[in-house]
Amino acid sequence: MHASLPAPLPVPAARPEAALGDFIARHRRLFVLTGAGISTGSGIPDYRDADGGWKRVPPITFQAFTGNDLTRRRYWARSLAGWGPFAAARPNAAHHALAMLQRQGRVSRLLTQNVDGLHQRAGSTGVIDLHGRLDQVACLGCGLRLPREGFQRQLLERNPGWDAHLATVAPDGDADLEGVDFAGFDVPDCPACGGMLKPDVVFFGESVPRARVEEATAALHASDAMLVVGSSLMVWSGFRFARMAAEAGIPVAILNRGRTRADDLAMLKLEADCVQVLPGLAGSG
């Protein structure tokens, strides 16, 4: 039988952040889950609108990447164009606020759906990168991992002039390239075994590594509350932790601009900009 959740907290109309401040003050071991909404303030676009729907064509699937040579060339060509702005992104005030809350002993563990590494750059430690990191490239054959910066140089060397194409920055290091023939784009193979290289991130249609899920699950159950920041939780890999928390009687608070899949599981929901709200809470001591 599932534990019952406390009744939802009233959210003050004048200062809605006060309710979240009270929630954080009452729960000293916060399990924090973050999504794309925390990084939009750093210039990285997100995928979904306020209703949780796709703003653009959904991301490439693992099956399409591995099963079609032209699709793979197209992915890497767009990634070549999008990597520069993505790599140049810097942590914003919300990333720094969560790092400060962790230093104050309020955050027990931080789980992120993002692949940008901005939490680590802001100073958060022990971050669980649920969907991996885009700054690494992995071989699907032998498991070799390479820094993306070096792989980016290889892409540029093999495809001179591609960096001159006009592109619009898209989520997660992607870019929109229109009217371009990708057939001649040259993608390096693994230098160790000749296998296929892909970003060291979890694509749609691919499973999150079991060990990563188990680590996050243990961290959740060692916490006394869950805080969701900037995620619609529309994908199962993130939503499962909110459902787990609700089933275990662990109170859930959500700070997100727009609808989330876990709205009916939360005891507190704030529709607000995390970059505006979190710094004041972290600085309150």
* Rounded Cα distance, 172 and 176, in Å: 12
Q: Kindly report the CA angle at 253 between 34 and 23, in degrees rounded to 5? A: 115
Asked if 112 and 119 touch (Cβ cutoff 8 Å), the reply is yes
Catalytic site residue from 119, 131, 165, 221: 131
- Per-residue pLDDT, 161: 80
How many CA atoms lie less than 13 Å away from 124 in the CB half-sphere? 30
Residue 62 C-alpha from the chain's centroid: 17
Q: Is the pLDDT of residue 58 over 80?
A: no
Alpha helices by DSSP H, the chain = 17-26, 62-67, 69-88, 93-103, 118-122, 148-158, 210-221, 236-247, 274-282
Q: What is the mean pLDDT of residues 173-180?
A: 61
Report the pLDDT averaged over residues 4-8.
47
pLDDT at site 78: 86
Residue range 270-282, pLDDT digits in tens: 999 999 999 999 8
Backbone angles phi, psi at 110, to 5 degrees: -120, 125
Q: What is the DSSP letter of 142?
A: T
Q: Are 186 and 158 in contact (CB under 8 A)?
A: yes
Instruction: Flag whether pLDDT at 171 surpasses 60.
Output: no
> What's the confidence (pLDDT) of residue 8?
46
Helix (H, G, I), strand (E, B) or coil at 137: strand
Instruction: Please tell me the distance from the alpha carbon of residue 29 to that of residue 251, in angstroms, as a whole number.
Output: 11
As given in the structure block, the two tokens for residue 21 are: 């401040």
Closest CA to 11 of 26, 25, 21: 21
Strands 145-147 and 132-139: antiparallel
**β-strand 197-201 against 132-139: which pairing, if any?**
antiparallel
Q: How far is residue 137 CA from its own chain's centroid?
A: 17
**pLDDT band at residue 172, thresholds of 50, 70 and 90?**
low
| Separation of alpha carbons 212 and 34, rounded Å | 16
Q: Given the structure tokens 């099963």, which residue do they identify?
A: 67
* Residue 139 three-state SS: strand
Mean pLDDT of 30-57: 77
- Residue 131 annotated as catalytic: yes
**Token digits for 26?**
């009452």
- 20 and 255 Cβ atoms separated by less than 8 Å: yes
Q: What is the pTM of this model?
A: 0.88
Instruction: Quickly count: other Cβ atoms within 10 Å of residue 7's Cβ.
Output: 7
